Chains A and B, each alone.
Chain A
Amino acid sequence: MDLLSFARGPALQWALVIFLLGVVWRLTGILLLGRAPDYSEPRNAPAWPGAFKLILTRSWPKREFAARTAFGETMSYVFHIGLAIVVLGFAPHILLIQSLTGLSWPGLPTGLVTLSAALTAGALAVLLVRRLMHPVLRLISNFDDYFSWLVVMLPVVTGLMATAHAGPRYETMLAVHILSAELMLAWLPFGKLMHSFLVFVSRGTTGALFTRKGAAL
């Protein structure tokens, strides 16, 4: 079996099994967690609108900190949106999703996708440098942060290289690209990348809690 067949075959299957197992495990584990009964009087009757409010407000820099966080947030947005364009807009990717889920939508031109990928890679690189230079950020970063960065960066870079015919022969590069994406899938449930599933859950919970307590959002 050549590398590409391995990547499209057993490797993809295993990566997806691990991904599903991990994601479902963590999600059910967290959602079924028992909550301590709250006997206090709620300050606001239905708490759930607060969940949505916090999800929105936390997606934007707070005015007070804007000057300090704007750069990091902009870069993060560039790479998150860029990544979404690449993952969801590139026709071969859509075909993969379609073959697994049956869902499909029109793709974007290759040029646009390539540009997004380049911007994504650039933003990711900038964010890593920032993480390394910023004393506080560096202090609170651990293996998980760096490894998660790596497994996101790898598919972007290898994908760009495959498109540009850089590095080894295309079929090998394509296989490496697929394998790197599989690494990301397999790692996703077990590290900080799980935030892709949990970010709104945790923000929503916080929002609801704050609303109930009557805290400002």
Chain B
Amino acid sequence: MNDDQTLEQALLRQGVSRRAFLKYCAALASLMAMPASAAPALAEGLAKARRPAVIWLSFQECTGCTESLTRSFYPTLETLIFNMLSLDYHETLMAAAGFQAEAAREAAMARNHGKYLLVVDGSVSTGLDGSYSTVAGHANVDTLKRAAQGAAAIVAVGTCSSFGGIPKANPNPTAARPVSDIVHDKPIINISGCPPIPEVITGVLAQYLTFGAIPELDEHRRPRIFYGNTIHDRCYRRPFYDQGKFAKTFDDEGARNGWCLYELGCKGPTTYNACATVKWNEATSFPIQSGHGCLGCSEPDFWDKGSFYKPLSTPTWSDRAPLAAGAVGGLALGVAAAAVARHRQKRITEEQ
């Protein structure tokens, strides 16, 4: 495989015409919410781009992110893998296995040292020297450190690699950590979500490819273009929120009328993701459209932020014993204070 070909050359060789490419760029621009007039410039940039080698490492994860990626409708995974990137190592998707696969990774890393894009899904276990999660006898944490050395940038796909995700949920038995806790000297792009929206994964990769630079990131290192707004800000149920019309249960009148799901625990107001705009499954729908509140899956520690079904404005705890204790304590103090006061009053009266 010739990594020095431009993308245009590689595509032509594979029988993808220039018009098809232009069309692809129009779709990409639309997906990335760029002005439609930017599509030709995008095409020009992409055509000249070199196909970067990609090494994909999977750590403590459920493969949901890769599953999500393979459901990306545009660009299809095939076009992405075979045309746009040179995916040299992905345990789930590649044919090679065992020593052959390890060798392929080492070779790709050596050949593209300093230039390849490292994609990581899954959190990094650091407990017991990383021995909770190993591949081919190497702890994930060591593999990551090694692979990161030669990477131009790292893309953390999914909430697990971005923020630790479910493996890091209380009590975090494997001492799971996000990639950004382990690697400090490389640019990192987090594409969070559990899983992330497939078009967002491909969109970010395509954007990196096109402009050869890290996109503008938010404070959690997520690309602003997809994570710039909360679900709530783009939610089509928002007018109901503003009118104070809420579904109180999942099957009441309000739920049938499609009213806001805030009372049912929707975390849309504090969740930054593109679900409400890009949507899921070929833009068919997204969780809120299907009648379920947002879980906040693209936010750090979404698993440990209280019940998914408790409204955002309510306590994360439900034990009211401390409150009762406070009241009882207050009562005791009050009675004692009154007793002391009465005692003193009596003494003063007697002295008079």
Name A residues whose Cβ lies closer than 8 Å to a Cβ of B.
1-2, 4-5, 8-9, 12-13, 16-34, 36, 91-93, 95-96, 98-100, 106-111, 165, 169-171, 174, 178
Contacts and interface: CB of A to CB of B under 8 A. Distances in A.
Interface in B261-297: 262-263, 269-270
A83 B349 CA distance: 45
Contacts, number: 141
Interface of B: 219, 230, 233, 241-244, 246, 262-263, 269-270, 299-301, 304-306, 310-317, 320, 322-323, 325-327, 329-331, 333-335, 337-339, 341-342, 345-346, 349
Nearest to B335: A28
B114 to A, nearest CB: 35
Closest 8 CB pairs of A and B: A28-B334, A24-B330, A32-B338, A92-B313, A17-B326, A99-B314, A29-B337, A25-B330
A33 B306 contact: no
Given A24-B330, A29-B333, 8 more contacts: A20-B330, A21-B326, A21-B333, A23-B330, A34-B342, A169-B219, A171-B270, A171-B299
A17 B326 CA distance: 5
A29 B313 contact: no
Nearest to B339: A32
Contact of B326 (A9, A16, A169): A16
B244 A21 contact: no
A98 B311 CA distance: 11
A177 to B, nearest CB: 10
Contacts of A92: 262, 311-313
Which of B243, B313, B333, B342 has most chain A Cβ within 10 Å? B313
B301 A5 contact: yes
- The B interface is mostly helix, strand or loop, or mixed, namely helix
Contact of A34 (B269, B314, B330, B341): B341
A24 B327 contact: yes
A30 B337 CA distance: 9
A47 B345 CA distance: 25
Contacts of A34: 338, 341-342, 345-346
A96 B338 contact: no
A22 B233 CA distance: 39
A36 B313 CA distance: 47
A1 B306 CA distance: 11
Contacts of B316: 5, 8-9
Contact of B322 (A13, A32, A110, A111): A13
Contact of B230 (A12, A26, A107, A170): A170
A96 B313 contact: yes
B246 A91 contact: yes
Nearest to B263: A95
A23 B317 CA distance: 22
A26 to B, nearest CB: 7
A20 B327 contact: yes
B330 A5 contact: no
Contacts of A106: 244
Contacts of A26: 334
B325 A5 contact: no
Given A23-B330, A32-B338, A91 B263 contact: yes
Q: Which of A19, A91, A111 has the most CB of B within 10 A?
A: A91
A110 B245 CA distance: 10
B246 A13 contact: no
Given A8-B306, A99-B311, A174-B270, A29 B334 contact: yes
A131 to B, nearest CB: 31
B269 A110 contact: no
Nearest to A10: B317
Given A91-B244, A109-B244, A5 B315 contact: no
A184 B168 CA distance: 35
A1 B334 CA distance: 36
B326 A27 contact: no
Nearest to B219: A169
Nearest to A22: B330
Contacts of A8: 305-306, 312, 314-316
A32 B311 CA distance: 39
- Of residues B241, B262, B330, which shows the largest number of chain A Cβ atoms within 10 Å of its Cβ? B330
B257 to A, nearest CB: 15
A3 B299 CA distance: 13
Given A9-B316, A92-B311, A24 B244 contact: no
A25 B333 contact: yes
B191 to A, nearest CB: 19
17 contacts: A1-B304, A8-B314, A9-B306, A13-B315, A13-B317, A20-B326, A21-B327, A23-B330, A24-B329, A25-B331, A29-B337, A34-B345, A95-B263, A110-B243, A171-B299, A174-B269, A178-B313
A109 B269 CA distance: 17
A174 B232 CA distance: 14
B242 A109 contact: yes
Nearest to B329: A21
Contacts of B304: 1, 5
